[in-house]
């Protein structure tokens, strides 16, 4: 099917006869493969008698060779379809693959966000990106790491036509109140000694319709008004990540604390912090030098950190 998709990805009309000749199959077999493309990948294909078949929207597929040439710092593998890039990254760690390495996919069939949420992952529209790092030197190398990744994602988005992208503690990138990217970090090993960390990043790139998403969202295309080259975005994101991770490893999160706080969209807002079944009402004061959230709760400053915390605006904010 993907060979057929590569023939169609230019968005032009191709006759069934020409497609069959290129693939070495009959026109009826071409028709069956086209039906599979629509059903399996959710693609829309126009069929016009006398002209042939045309993808409703041209596709640019991820190109591992182009990415490796322009961002050579990490070996990269691109999957056509996978359960999730984080899951594949974790399997690779278990199989002994040497870090660092990068996993990308055109589609996820079981994409995951934070707190067990589904991450909607249509084929060849968005970016599903998991970078694996080996971390030594204890907890200091992990402090505020998810926030550092957020800075890199934000800067990559701004360089890709979304100048208003900003941060929401702890793991989201927003445009206004609409989510454009999310981050999911997963650890394997001893965080006090040597471990592996998977930096999972999902970015809404060219998606324009997503009925399954249960929150306000946007994409680079919706914000910029034009399609985004996902290969160029991978290169930009990798370069931003490399620079921010280097600074974090050399100087700790404290060296990036001020930059992160300057770009936090919910600074000073009235929020509800969700921790399991508990809801804590407060006002955002900022973050500390380890990446924890500083909240004013009934007039008393408290600091919160942890992977299962979630922040929501209160109705009176």
DSSP3 helix / strand / coil % (the chain, rounded to 5): 35, 30, 35
179 is in an annotated binding site: yes
The angle at the Cα of 203, spanning 246 to 160, to the nearest 5 degrees, equals 75
Task: Tell how far CA 210 is from the center of its chain.
Answer: 16
Which entry of 114, 168, 221, 230 is annotated as an active-site residue? 114
Which entry of 107, 168, 179, 221 is annotated as an active-site residue? 179
107 is in an annotated binding site: no
Which entry of 32, 134, 140, 312 is annotated as an active-site residue? 312
158 is in an annotated binding site: no
112 is in an annotated binding site: yes
70 is in an annotated binding site: no
Answer yes or no: 168 catalytic: no
Answer yes or no: 107 catalytic: no
Answer yes or no: 27 catalytic: no
108 is in an annotated binding site: yes
Please tell me the distance from the alpha carbon of residue 284 to that of residue 269, in angstroms, as a whole number. 6
Map tokens 């390495």 to a residue. Answer: 101
- Enumerate the active-site residues: 114, 179, 312
Residues making up the binding site for biotin: 84-86, 108, 112-114, 179
Residues making up the binding site: 84-86, 108, 112-114, 179
């Amino acid at each position: 099917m993907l060979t057929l998709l590569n023939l169609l990805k230019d968005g032009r009309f191709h006759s069934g006869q020409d497609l069959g000749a290129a693939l070495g199959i009959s026109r009826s077999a071409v028709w069956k493969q086209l039906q599979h493309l629509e059903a399996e990948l959710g693609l829309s294909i126009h069929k016009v008698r006398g002209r042939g078949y045309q993808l409703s929207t041209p596709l640019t597929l991820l190109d591992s060779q182009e990415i490796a040439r322009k961002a050579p710092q990490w070996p990269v593998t691109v999957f056509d379809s996978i359960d999730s890039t984080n899951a594949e990254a974790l399997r690779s760690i278990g199989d002994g693959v040497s870090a660092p390495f990068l996993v990308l996919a055109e589609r996820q069939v079981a994409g995951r966000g934070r707190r067990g949420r589904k991450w909607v992952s249509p084929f060849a529209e968005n970016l599903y990106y998991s970078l694996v790092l080996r971390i030594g030197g204890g907890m200091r190398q992990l402090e505020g790491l998810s926030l550092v990744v957020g800075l890199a994602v934000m800067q990559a988005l701004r360089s890709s036509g979304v100048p208003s992208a900003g941060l929401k503690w702890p793991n989201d990138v927003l445009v206004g109140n609409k989510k454009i990217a999310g981050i999911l970090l997963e650890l394997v090993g001893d965080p006090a000694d040597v471990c592996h960390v998977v930096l999972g990043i999902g970015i809404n790139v060219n998606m324009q319709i997503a009925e399954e998403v249960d929150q306000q969202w946007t994409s680079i295309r919706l914000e910029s008004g034009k399609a985004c080259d996902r290969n160029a975005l991978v290169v930009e994101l990798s370069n931003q990540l490399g620079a921010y991770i280097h600074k974090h490893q050399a100087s700790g999160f404290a060296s990036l604390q001020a930059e992160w706080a300057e770009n936090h969209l919910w600074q000073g807002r009235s929020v509800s912090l969700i921790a399991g079944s508990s809801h804590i009402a407060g006002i955002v004061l900022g973050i500390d030098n380890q990446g924890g959230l500083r909240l004013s709760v009934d007039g008393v400053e408290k600091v919160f950190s942890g992977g299962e915390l979630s922040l929501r605006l209160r109705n009176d904010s």
